[in-house]
Amino acid sequence: MALKLALKMTFMLRWCIRINIVIFVTSVTLELLLPNELQTYLRHSTFRKDRSNGTPKSEEQELKNFQKAIEATL
């Protein structure tokens, strides 16, 4: 009886570890592949690759957008 329980527990632990590894790898992959707010801001502001949003009205607005991007990233 104890051997059956130990085998069942081992089987369940293996599956839990596999599921955790898959979730971890998926989350790391998403973090690395998807652009975050700071990358989006830099693409629009500094490198001007994305001109669809227009330009900020003032330097203060540009700094506010920058601070929002940093807060969202951290």
* Domain regions of the chain by residue span: 1-34, 35-74
Q: How confident is the model at residue 50 (pLDDT cuts 50, 70, 90)?
A: low
DSSP single-letter state for residue 1? -
pTM of the full structure: 0.54
Q: What is the DSSP string of 23-72?
A: HHHHHHHHHHHS--HHHHHHHHHTS----TT---SSHHHHHHHHHHHHHH
* pLDDT per residue as tens digits for the range 13-30: 999 999 999 999 999 998
The whole-angstrom distance between residue 60's C-alpha and the CA centroid of its chain comes to 28
What's the half-sphere exposure (Cβ side, CA atoms, 13 Å) at 40? 14
